[in-house]
Amino acid sequence: MFRTMFDSDVTTFSPMGRLHQIEYAQEAVKQGGATLGLRSDEHVVIAGLLRQTKKLSGHQPKLFVIDDHMAVSIAGLTADARLLIKYMRTECLNNKYVFDSPLQVATLVADLADKAQSHTQDYSSRPYGVGLLVAGYDKSGPHLFETSPSGSAYDFRAQAIGARSQSARTYLERHYETFADASLEELITHALTALRETAGDTELTAENASIMIVGKDTPAHELAADDIAARLAALGGGAAAEDDAANDDDEGTNENPNA
C-alpha cells in the first residue's frame, strides 16, 4: 500500500499508527518563524523573529494582544492563527461581559486545545497548521502555555518553537533556573539573547525582532522599536566587552607562560 492512501484525511491511521495530516500540520509549525517565551514569578515575555515574504514587503507580525492580561505568539500558518486569535479574543470578551472578570489563562488554553483537537476527528476538516505560545497573568500568577495542532497544551517556564528554535531552547535550558527571580529587564535580555540564537546569518534588529510583555500590574503590550534597538545595542556591546576581556586574558597568559 502507498502512503497516499493514509494521508487523504485526518481520521485515517497508517499501519504504523500515525495520522499524517497531524504530522503535516506540526511540520508547518516547525517551518514557521521562530518564537519563544519565558516567565518569572511576576512577568511573562514573548519574542518573535519576524519574516519577510518578499524582499520589498514588510515583516509579518507574530505577536498579538488577546486581552489586557493575555498575549500570544505564533509559528506556522498565519491564516490559521488569525482564526484562533479571533476565537480567543471573543471568549475573553464574553467572559468579561458575563462575569465582569478576566478569563483565566488555563481555562482559555484548555478550550483552545479542545477546539484544535476537534479538527483531528472530523474527516471534512484539517488540523490547524499553527502553534501558539500563550502568555498571561491572572489571579494564580504568570503563565506560559504552548498549544500544538494535535490539541495538546503544556505549561512551561520557558519554551521556543518554530524554525531553528532548538538553539533558543538550548539557551533557555541553560539559564531557566534564574528566570523565577529575574527582573523584567533581565527577562527581556534573556529573550533577545535566545532569539538571536535562532537568527542564523540574519542580523537581529529592531525591525525583525518583536517583544511583548504581560505581568503583574503590567497590561499586555509590545515594546517599541526604539526600546528594542537600545536593548540590542546594549546586548551587542556587552557581548563585545566580554570577548575583549577574554582576549586580554589570553594575551596576558601568553606573555607570562610561567607566571
Q: How confident is the model at residue 257 (pLDDT cuts 50, 70, 90)?
A: very low
Torsion of Cα atoms, 172 then 175 then 176 then 179, to 10°: -120
Residue with cell string 535580555 = 189
pLDDT digits (tens, 9 = 90+) for 159-186: 999 999 999 999 999 999 999 999 999 9
Q: How confident is the model at residue 212 (pLDDT cuts 50, 70, 90)?
A: very high
Q: How far is 113 from 108, CA to CA, in rounded Å?
A: 9
Determine the pLDDT at residue 120.
Answer: 92
Instruction: Return the higher-pLDDT residue of 224 and 201.
Output: 224
Query: In the structure grid, which three cell numbers stand for residue 1, read together?
Result: 500500500
* Burial classification of residue 219, based on how many CB atoms lie within 10 Å of its CB (0-12 exposed, 13-18 middle, 19 or more buried): middle
In a domain, 121, yes or no: yes
In a domain, 249, yes or no: no
pLDDT digits (tens, 9 = 90+) for 56-76: 888 899 999 999 999 999 999
228: left (phi over 0), alpha (psi -120 to 50) or beta: alpha
- Whether 204 shows a pLDDT value over 60: the answer reads yes
Q: How far is 31 from 24, CA to CA, in rounded Å?
A: 11
Q: Are strands 70-76 and 153-155 parallel, antiparallel or unpaired?
A: unpaired
pTM here is 0.88
For 112-173, give the secondary structure using H, E and C. HHHHHHHCCCCCCCCCCCEEEEEEEEECCEEEEEEECCCCCEEECCEEEECCCHHHHHHHHH
Closest CA relative to residue 78, chosen from 53, 60, 55: 60
Q: How confident is the model at residue 14 (pLDDT cuts 50, 70, 90)?
A: confident
In a domain, 46, yes or no: yes
In a domain, 160, yes or no: yes
Range of the domain at 112: 29-50+59-234
Residue 129 half-sphere exposure, CB side, CA atoms within 13 Å? 18
- Adjacency order of strands within the sheet including 130-138: 63-67, 70-76, 130-138, 141-147, 153-155
Number of domains in the chain: 1
Task: Return all residues near 128 (Cβ < 8 A) that are at least 6 apart.
Answer: 25, 76, 77, 80, 83, 84, 116, 119, 149
In a domain, 75, yes or no: yes
Q: What is the mean pLDDT of residues 41-62?
A: 91
CATH number at residue 166: 3.60.20.10
In a domain, 155, yes or no: yes
**Percentage above 90 pLDDT, the chain:** 76
Q: How confident is the model at residue 4 (pLDDT cuts 50, 70, 90)?
A: low
- Adjacency order of strands within the sheet including 209-215: 158-161, 35-39, 43-49, 209-215, 218-222
Determine the pLDDT at residue 239.
Answer: 45
Q: How many CB atoms lie within 10 A of CB 108?
A: 23
pLDDT digits (tens, 9 = 90+) for 93-147: 999 999 999 999 999 999 999 999 999 998 888 999 999 999 999 999 999 999 9
Q: How confident is the model at residue 6 (pLDDT cuts 50, 70, 90)?
A: confident
Instruction: Return the higher-pLDDT residue of 18 and 153.
Output: 153
In a domain, 257, yes or no: no
- Whether 254 shows a pLDDT value over 80: the answer reads no
In a domain, 195, yes or no: yes
Determine the pLDDT at residue 255.
Answer: 43
